[in-house]
Chains A and B, each alone.
Chain A
C-alpha cells in the first residue's frame, strides 16, 4: 500500500517538478534529477529507469524540448527547455496543486516540516 502510494505521488508530482526545474533555464537530465533530489531534501528521487522515460514522454507531448548541445571542453549533452505549451501546463498544474494542497492541509491538518 505504502509503495503504491509513493509511486502514485511520485508519478503525479513528477511533471510539475520537472517543469519547475527548467522554467528559468535549460538543463540536462542529470541536473534536473539532482536538483529535485537536493531541493526536496532527498524526499523525492527518481531512478533512471523511470525518470528518463518520463522526460521522453513529456517531450513527445510537446511540453519540453530536448537538444544536444556541445560546449567547449565538455562532452555534448542533451539539454531540455520548457516550451510555451509547457509553460501553460505548468501554470495550470500549479493552480491545481495549490488548491489540492490547501484543501489537504486544512482537512488533514498538515504542517510543513522544517
Chain B
C-alpha cells in the first residue's frame, strides 16, 4: 500500500497555509490513487506505475513552487521568506558590500538610538509621578519681564490659600546639610520639601512616613527623611533605622522615613541624599516676601489658561497688598517637565539633528550602492519580469534586500547604542542622568522604527527605478541609464548638502568654543584650589564665632608648606551668585537697585590676581568694628558713577542674609571685572565687602599653591584642628571648574565635529563609488567620444565637471539648509553668527574640493579608456 498522502506532503513542503495544505494533500493523493489504479488495470507493473506517477507529481521539483505561486497570490507577504533567503544569499555573495552597508547603518542607527534615549529621558518620558501631565511649576515674572523660577515662602502661602485652579500646591528647594556622627562628617545634597510635596506627586516613603505639619514650621519638631541610597550606604539598609536620631547641621533629628529605590527628584543632577522640611529652615531670608528661595509645584485642576488667569489676578492683588516687594511681579504656570529639563532641550535637539543627518547620509550612500548593484542585476530582473513576476514582486525583492541590510545594521546599532548612551549621558547637559536613559520597550520600538525607515529609504529609489525599466531594457542597452544617473546625482547632491550642514555646524561650534576660551575671566585661576566650607548655624550663630573660625583657618592654611596665599570668599567664582540691594548715599532714589555681592577676605584679590584699578584692596586693618568699607568693580563704577570718582563715596548695602542689615560703606577701591558666573556671562556691577565685616556661613577657602589638590588632606587636617565636626569635601581646582562650566560647549563642538567627520567620510565614499559606477555606465559613450577625437584631458574635464555640478548643487542645498537651521543654534553660539560668511565659505569650498578629489580617481580611469578595446568589447 502506497502512502500517497505522505508522498505529496513531502513534495509540497510549506507552499500553502496549513489548513489549505492538507486539502491539497488530500486532493492530490486521491488523484494519484485513481491514476495508479487505472494504470494497474491497464496491466502496468507496480514499479513502473509508481515511478511514472511520482515523475508526474513533481517534475524537476516544481510542485511546491507552482502551488506556492498560486496560493501566494492570496497575500502580498507570502513568499517574503523566500525573498529574505534570496537577499541573504545575495548579500553573503557580496560580503564587502554587506559589511560596509551594515557597519555604516550600525553607526547611523546606533548614534540615533543613543541620542534618542537621552532625548526620551529628558523630553518625552512621563515623570515617575502620579498623572505627571497635570504637574506644573509656578514661576514669577520680574518687573523687567524676565522669568524668575524661585519665589518666596510668604508668596507661596498666599498662593496656596487663595487659588482654586489647583488640586494642591507645595514648595521645595535644593540645599545642603552636614551629617555628623555617622562615620566622617559629610556634606550631603538635600532637598527641603513642604509636607504637601509627596502627596502632590503621589509618592510615599518606602519606610516610615512623610513630614507632619508640626515638623514643617519654625521651631517645629525636628525630623529627616533619608534617600534610599543614603539609607543603604550609611545605615546598612537597616529597617529599624526609623526613630534613630542623627545629627544634621549640628542638631539631633530623628529619622521619620526612607524613600523608595526609584525615587529621584531631578531638581539637581546629582542624587539627593536626604529630605528636610522646608518650613523649619531658620534662615531669616526664608521668611521674607522678597526672599525668593523656593520653588513651587502644583497640580492643575483645570486648564493652563485658567490657572494663568487666576495667578495673574492674584499677583495683582498681592502687588496691591505688598507694594514694596511685589509691585510689577506677575506669576504663571510652566509644565513641570519644561522647568526641570527645558535647559537640556536645545542641546539634545541639536545632537538629534546632527545624528539624523549622519543617518540620512548613510542611507543615501547605501541607496546609491544598491542602485549601482541593482543596475548590474537588471537583466536578471528583466528575465524574471518576462517570466511573469509582477512589478510588485520585483520591488519587494529589492526592498526586502535593503530591509535585511537595515535589520542587521539596526541590531548592530542597538548594541552600539547601549555603549554610546553611557558616553552621551556623561556629556548631556542639565539634569539628564545616565541611569534615566537605559533601553526599554520604547527604545526597542524606536529601534525597529528607525531600522524600517532606513531600510525603506535605502531601497525605495533603487526598487522603483530598476523595476520600472526591467522588461524594456533586458536586451536593449540602457534607456533607463540616464534616469538612474539623475537619481544617483540627486543622492550625491544630498550627501554633499548634509555634509555641509554638519561641517558648518562643527565649524561654528568649534569657533564659538575657541572664542569663549579666549575670554579673559578677570582672574588667574591656575593653581587655585577651592575648598567649600559651611558653618552650621547652630554652632556658629553669630559673626564673632564665624570670624574666629575663618581667621584661624586662614592662618593655619597659610602655614602649610607650598601655599602661596589663601583667602575666603562667599561666593567664589562659579560658586553661585548673590545680588543684594544697595543705594548710593546722598542720592535720591525711589527704589534700591541691585548688584552682585561678594564677601571676601583681605587676601582674595591677591590670591585670585584680580587687578586693582584704583584705590586699595582690603587688608587686615579692615576688621569687624573698623570703618565699614567696600570695593566695587569697573562695571559698577562706570554704570553708577560715570566719570565721577567713586573712591570716597558711600553706598548702603542691604545684607539679605543677615536679616536685611543695612550698612553704609565707603568705597575704597575699584577692581577689574571678573566673569564670576562663567566665561560666557558678562560680569555686571559687583560689590565686595570685607569678610570680617560680613562673615557668611558659606565661605569657601581659595588657596593658591602649585601643589593643587595634593593639599586637600593638609587643609582638612587644619580645619579639623579647629572644628572636628566640619566636613571638608567637594574641593576642586578652580581652573578645571571654569573649563567644566564650558563643557557642554566643548562636548557639543567635539560631538558635532565627530559627526561631521563621519558624515564627510561617508559622503566621500559615496561620491567615489557612485562616480566609478557612472563612469562604468558611460564607458561606451566615452569610448565613442574618444574615437571621434576627444582627448583624455577633455574626458577628464567632462567627468569632473559632472561631479562639480552635482557638488555645487549639493552645496546650494546645504547652504540653504544651514540658513534654515541657523535660528535653532543661534542661542548656543558664543560671539559668532550662525551665518558667519567666512565659515560657510570655507566649509563649502572644502566640501566641493573634497567631492572633486573623491571623483578624481574614477575620472582618471575614464580618461584612460582605450576606445578600441571598449568598443570592441561592446
Chain A: residues with CB nearer than 8 A to chain B? 28-30, 33-34, 47-50, 52-53, 56-57, 60, 68, 75, 77-78
Contact = CB atoms under 8 A, between A and B. Distances in A.
B56 A30 contact: no
B222 to A, nearest CB: 83
A52 to B, nearest CB: 6
Given A56-B70, A56-B71, A49 B30 contact: no
Contacts of A60: 70, 73-74
Given A48-B31, A78-B26, 10 more contacts: A29-B31, A48-B53, A48-B56, A49-B58, A50-B62, A50-B66, A57-B73, A60-B73, A68-B23, A78-B27
Contacts of B66: 49-50, 53
Given A49-B58, A50-B62, A78 B23 contact: yes
A52 B62 contact: no
Say what secondary structure dominates the interface of chain A.
helix
A56 B24 CA distance: 10
Contacts of B395: none
Contacts of B24: 52, 56
Contacts of B55: 47
Given A48-B31, A52-B27, A57 B59 contact: no
Contacts of A52: 24, 27-28, 31, 67
A53 B31 CA distance: 14
Contacts of A77: 30
B32 interface: yes
Say what secondary structure dominates the interface of chain B.
helix
A49 B27 contact: no
Contacts of B27: 29, 52, 78
Given A47-B56, A47-B59, A49-B63, A30 B35 contact: yes
13 contacts: A28-B30, A30-B34, A30-B35, A48-B57, A48-B58, A49-B57, A49-B59, A49-B62, A49-B63, A52-B67, A53-B69, A57-B70, A60-B70
Contact of A48 (B23, B63, B69): B63
A53 to B, nearest CB: 4
Instruction: Rank and list the top 7 A-B pairs by shortest CB-CB distance, nearest first.
Output: A53-B66, A47-B56, A49-B63, A30-B31, A30-B34, A56-B70, A53-B70
Residue with the greatest number of chain A CB neighbours at <10 A, chosen from B56, B58, B59, B73: B56
A48 B28 contact: yes
A48 B62 contact: no
A50 B53 CA distance: 13
A20 to B, nearest CB: 20
B57 A47 contact: yes
B69 to A, nearest CB: 7
Contacts of A75: 30
Nearest to B16: A56
B247 to A, nearest CB: 85
B27 to A, nearest CB: 5
B81 to A, nearest CB: 19
A33 B27 CA distance: 13
B312 to A, nearest CB: 70
Nearest to B67: A53
Contacts of B53: 48
Interface string B43-79: 0000000000101111100110011011101100000
Interface residues of B, number: 26
B30 A30 contact: yes
B56 A56 contact: no
A49 B67 CA distance: 8
Contacts of A57: 70, 73
Interface of B: 23-24, 26-28, 30-32, 34-35, 38, 53, 55-59, 62-63, 66-67, 69-71, 73-74
A8 to B, nearest CB: 13
Nearest to B64: A49
Contacts of B32: 48
Contacts of B67: 52-53, 56
B14 to A, nearest CB: 16
Contacts of B69: 53
B134 to A, nearest CB: 56
Contacts of B58: 48-49
A29 B35 CA distance: 11
Contacts of A28: 30
Nearest to A49: B63
A32 B446 CA distance: 55
Contact of A33 (B23, B31, B74): B31
Contacts of A34: 38
Residue with the greatest number of chain A CB neighbours at <10 A, chosen from B31, B53, B59, B71: B31
A57 B16 CA distance: 13
A47 B62 CA distance: 11
A77 B34 CA distance: 12
Nearest to A57: B70
A102 B55 CA distance: 36
A48 B11 CA distance: 12
A33 to B, nearest CB: 7
B19 to A, nearest CB: 13
A53 B20 CA distance: 13
Contacts of B34: 30
A110 B32 CA distance: 36
A66 B582 CA distance: 99
A54 B24 CA distance: 13
A53 B67 CA distance: 5
A50 B65 CA distance: 10
B749 to A, nearest CB: 63
A111 B53 CA distance: 34
A28 B53 CA distance: 18
Contacts of B30: 28, 30, 75, 77
Contacts of B23: 68, 78
Contacts of A56: 24, 67, 70-71
Nearest to B54: A48
Contacts of A78: 23, 26-27
Contacts of B71: 56
Contacts of A53: 66-67, 69-70
Nearest to A52: B28
Contacts of A33: 31
A42 to B, nearest CB: 13
Contacts of B70: 53, 56-57, 60
A88 to B, nearest CB: 21
Contacts of B74: 60
Contacts of B26: 78
Contacts of B35: 30
A7 to B, nearest CB: 12
Nearest to B69: A53
A108 B24 CA distance: 42
A68 B20 CA distance: 13
A73 to B, nearest CB: 15
A28 to B, nearest CB: 8
B7 to A, nearest CB: 11
A47 B58 CA distance: 8
A54 to B, nearest CB: 8
Residue with the greatest number of chain A CB neighbours at <10 A, chosen from B27, B57, B63: B27
A9 B811 CA distance: 59
A57 B69 CA distance: 9
A30 B37 CA distance: 12
A100 to B, nearest CB: 22
Contacts of B73: 57, 60
Contacts of A68: 23
Nearest to A29: B31
Contacts of A49: 56-59, 62-63, 66
B762 to A, nearest CB: 47
A60 B57 CA distance: 22
A48 B70 CA distance: 14
A30 to B, nearest CB: 4
Nearest to A60: B73
Nearest to A45: B56
A30 B24 CA distance: 13
A60 B67 CA distance: 12
